[in-house]
């Protein structure tokens, strides 16, 4: 077996990881992963109040997988909300990191802010607008606030 053939075989056997270290996109939208990434205040599963809140979240925003009833995935409306939230968070984090570097007088960051700062801000603001309009941000945030802070 030649090197290129073995290289392609090995490459095909490796799982594809995304930035969060998740191999399958469905894993990113499993109930447990969403709770870990977006609701850190609900990590204590020994507390009866936390369990009740988790059950309310599951009932309101998730549906059981047809092939495996132990896995729950977000309903389409909540999945859209999460996708737009993640997009906004990415743009917002990039802009905040750039601002922090500018505050530290990093010359590359100052140049980047000079040439691309307005673009970063516009992309973040556009992402927030999409999140509000397409992701039903205000409605879902109100429901989440009610459940989580119950």
- What does 46-93 look like in DSSP terms, one character per residue? TSHHHHHHHHHHHHHHEEE-SS-TT-EEE-HHHHHHHHHHHHHHHHHH
Higher-confidence residue of 1 and 89: namely 89
How many domains are there within the chain?
1
Express each pLDDT in 26-49 by its tens digit.
566 788 888 888 888 888 888 889
Q: Check residue 132 and give its pLDDT.
A: 93
Express each pLDDT in 122-147 by its tens digit.
999 999 999 999 888 999 999 999 98
Q: How far is the C-alpha of 136 from the C-alpha of 146, rounded, in Å?
A: 16
- Average pLDDT score, the chain: 81
Domain that holds residue 110: 3-148
**Residues above pLDDT 90, as percent of the chain:** 40
Q: Check residue 124 and give its pLDDT.
A: 93
- The pTM for the full model equals 0.73
In order of 22, 92, 140, the CA distances from 122 in angstroms are 29, 11, 24
8 Å CB contact between 106 and 98: no
Q: How far is the C-alpha of 150 from the C-alpha of 140, rounded, in Å?
A: 15
- Say which residues have a Cβ less than 8 Å from residue 33's Cβ, sequence separation at least 6: 22, 27
Express each pLDDT in 81-93 by its tens digit.
999 999 999 999 9
């Amino acid at each position: 077996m030649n090197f290129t053939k073995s290289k392609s075989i090995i490459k095909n056997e490796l799982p594809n990881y995304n930035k969060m270290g998740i191999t399958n996109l469905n894993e990113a939208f499993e109930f447990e992963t969403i709770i870990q990434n977006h609701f850190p205040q609900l990590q204590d599963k020994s507390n009866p109040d936390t369990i009740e809140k988790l059950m309310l979240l599951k009932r309101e925003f998730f549906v059981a997988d047809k092939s495996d009833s132990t896995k729950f995935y977000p309903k389409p409306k909540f999945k859209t909300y999460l996708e737009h939230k993640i997009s906004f968070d990415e743009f917002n984090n990039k802009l905040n990191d750039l601002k922090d570097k500018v505050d530290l007088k990093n010359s590359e960051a100052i140049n980047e802010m000079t040439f691309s700062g307005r673009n970063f801000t516009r992309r973040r603001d556009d992402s927030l607008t999409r999140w509000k309009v397409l992701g039903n941000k205000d409605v879902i945030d109100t429901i989440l606030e009610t459940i989580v802070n119950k």
